[in-house]
Amino acid sequence: MKWGKIPEPQIENVKKLSTELGVSDIVSKLLIQRGINNFASAKNYFRPEWNHLYDPFLMKDMQIAVDRIKRAIDKNEKVMVLGDYDVDGTTSVSLIISYLNDKITDLKPYIPDRYSEGYGISERAINYANSEGVNLIIALDCGIKAFEKVKYASSLGIDFIICDHHMPEEILPDAVAVLDPKRTDCNYPFKDLCGCGIGFKLVQAINNQLGLSDSELIIYLDLVATAIAADLVPLVGENRTLMFLGLKQLRENPRLGFKIFIKDLTRPLNVSDLAFIVAPRINAAGRMDHGINAVKLMTSKDQKAVLSIARTIEFFNTERKSTEERITNEALQQIKLEDTTKNCSTVVYHPSWHKGVIGIVASRLIEHYYRPTVVLTNAEDLMVGSVRSVYGFDVYKALEACKQHIFQFGGHKYAAGLTLNTEQLNPFKEAFETYVSKNLSPELKEPEIKYDLEVEFSDLNSKLLRIINQMRPFGPKNMNPVFATHNCRDSGSSRLVGSDKTHLRLDILDSNQKHFQGIGFGLGHMLKKVKGTDTFSILYTLDENYYNGVVNLQFKLRDINFN
């Protein structure tokens, strides 16, 4: 991979912050790179607290939304809570259902069926709400472009409150309230909340209006933290505070539906556990079965019921993995057969591919061919697809440029979904490839690892690691610091480890003859070059190795450059 160095801050700013905080220059550099440049911002960064959260009423339409929900509470109206079938949507629905459960008698959770309804608000959902006498629908993690659906609901006497975080158009749906910090007329200070985050701000506002204590809301932060981890929103500002507090809740008192998946962890739960253990299982319900089961898992307080649902979800998660692997292999074969390996983009299609895993498959294809990728399959009379991008390339703009060939689309800079009429496949492929080839700059065509600082092994110690650990939780825009050390050489003791000998245990010296050890998971194939090269450079994060009751400082290898 290509290595890219994050610019170092000016030395006078580093020295000033080092003096102010009483920390080393290395720590000051790492903090300034993350926008922390004085004592006050450092205090907030290292000690996130509830009072760092913004007033929810700063969000446009919040008071209107709260007033409408309060009316529903006072008049005992029937309310539907609707959300997308992914982690962000199902956690959002679980949060609102859990909070309003003792305030509204008749609450109806609704997750659209991925296959028969597709993404977002469906006519079927509105018809069901109408047949059940629902007066209000609260839509979460979707709805920002549901113009016709909101109009249709209104004709039936059903009000809509939309809580979304996707990019809106200039005109908004004619809902009672539209909560989306990305609205051009919304002055809410933090724009990068996920859908569940916006749902939480709504709950926070209702709670405030009802004169209830903020402490009552802490139990919902495990849901918010899981959504933040799954949706890969920036872990800065309000998201970082919500994640910090949510992890605390998860470690101390997780809900039954989460406890069952994390009970075997032998160390404190972290963001990666949410992203790679909890989130895939919640997603599996919507991908392979039905997302409403994820809501039941997260809202039930019955241990037997939770265990039963969890077993079913575990089964579907296993099925998801094998389906994803098979389709990825078929897609790679298609790319080779169609001779598109030299394209600037990937667009692959098969009518029988499982709709629930095509987003994951798109991400897997990027690992093989690093370029913007679209994976399509059939859904009734249309084609549906998932789009994933490479770092720095706005795939949403690419879809906008091809919109004459698209039935509908929506999403973010790096991930989107679309629907095509079948006859538009080839015109879309050509238009997408044309746009990408013209706009994908050469520096974005190969993956890059960004690193923070160049250091010698003598700079690294347990005190530095303790401070780095206080910089958690790590995630987008607040990544675990990556270090580079040059002119390394093998001490003679580097070797392969692991039951299948695929991991690399490095035992090396730097240019000052300082000795250090580390692990490179899945990098065993590099051992021969390590042994046969005079000097090389390494990229790594700082870590601890626990072995036979002894704890030692080590590095976790990211990459090796053999100069």
Chain segment 512-532, per-residue pLDDT in tens: 999 999 999 999 999 999 999
Q: What is the mean pLDDT of residues 480-509?
A: 95
**DSSP assignment of 230-274:** HHT---SHHHHHHHHHHHHHHHHS--HHHHHHHTT-SS---HHHI
pLDDT > 90: percent of the chain:
90
Q: What is the pLDDT of residue 410?
A: 82
pLDDT score at 65: 98
- For the chain, the farthest-separated pair of C-alpha atoms sits apart, in whole angstroms, at 78
Is pLDDT of 546 > 80? no
Please report where in the chains the tokens 């991979």 appear, as a residue: 1
Residue extent(s) of CATH 3.10.310.30 domains in the chain = 338-444
3-state secondary structure of 109: strand
HSE of 475, CA atoms in CB hemisphere, 13 A: 26
Give CATH 3.90.1640.30 domain extents, the chain. 56-311
CA distances 250 to 1, 207, 220, Å, are 36, 22, 10
Instruction: Return the H-helix or E-strand segment holding 555.
Output: strand 550-561
Q: Is the pLDDT of residue 412 over 90?
A: no
Query: Is 338-444 assigned to CATH 3.10.310.30?
Result: yes
Q: Average of pLDDT values for 132-147? A: 96
Supply the pLDDT for residue 379: 87
User: For 469-483, what is the mean pLDDT?
Assistant: 94
pLDDT value for 289: 81
The neighbouring-strand residues paired with 160 are 137
The pLDDT of residue 161 is 98
Label residue 290 by pLDDT band (50, 70, 90): confident
Rounded Cα distance between 239 and 165, Å, is 13
Structure tokens at 328: 């990825």
pLDDT of residue 547: 74
Instruction: Average the pLDDT over 441-461 and give the result.
Output: 94
CB atoms near residue 65 (< 10 Å) = 25
* Residue 550 pLDDT grade (very low, low, confident, very high; cuts 50, 70, 90): confident
> Where in the sequence of the chain do the CATH 2.40.50.460 domains occur?
2-47+449-561
List pLDDT tens digits, range 316-356. Answer: 999 999 999 999 999 999 999 999 999 999 999 999 999 98
d(CA 399, CA 26) in angstroms, rounded, equals 42
- Cα separation, 466 vs 469, in Å, equals 5
**Mean pLDDT confidence for 358-387:** 94
Cβ atoms of 90 and 282 within 8 Å: the answer is: yes
Residue 199 confidence class, pLDDT cut points 50, 70, 90: very high
Residues in Cβ contact with 505 at an 8 Å cutoff, skipping those fewer than 6 apart: 494, 495, 496, 497, 517, 518, 519, 520
Average pLDDT over residues 171-183: 97
Binning pLDDT at 50, 70 and 90, where does residue 288 land?
Answer: confident
Instruction: Tell me what the mean pLDDT of segment 8-24 comes to.
Output: 96
Which CATH class name applies to 56-311?
A: alpha beta
- Percentage of the chain lying above the pLDDT 70 cut: 100
Supply the pLDDT for residue 36: 96
3-state helix, strand, coil in the chain (%, to 5): 45, 20, 35
Q: How far apart are CA 309 and CA 326, in angstroms?
A: 26
Please state the rounded mean pLDDT for residues 141-153.
95
List of residues 6+ apart from 105 with CB closer than 8 A: 76
Q: Which pLDDT value is given to residue 389?
A: 96
Gap between the Cα atoms of 544 and 464, Å rounded: 12
- The model's confidence at residue 59, banded by pLDDT at 50, 70 and 90, is very high
Cα-to-chain-centroid distance, residue 1: 23
Mean pLDDT of 215-219: 96
Exposure string over 197-234, b if 16+ CB within 10 A, otherwise e:
bbbbbbbbbbbbbeeeeeeebbebbbbbbbbbbbbebb
Classify strands 495-497 and 503-509 as parallel, antiparallel or unpaired.
antiparallel
Taking all residues of the chain, what is their mean pLDDT, rounded to a whole number? 94
Residue type, 459: D
Residue 198 pLDDT exceeds 80: yes
Structure tokens, 200: 């939480």
Q: Is omega for the bond preceding 168 within 30 degrees of 0, making it cis?
A: no
Closest CA to 142 of 124, 115, 165: 165
What is the second-level CATH architecture of the domain 2-47+449-561?
Beta Barrel (2.40)
Tokens 């899981």 sit at which residue? 226
Q: Give the pLDDT band of residue 381 (cuts 50, 70, 90).
A: confident
pTM above the 0.75 mark?
A: yes
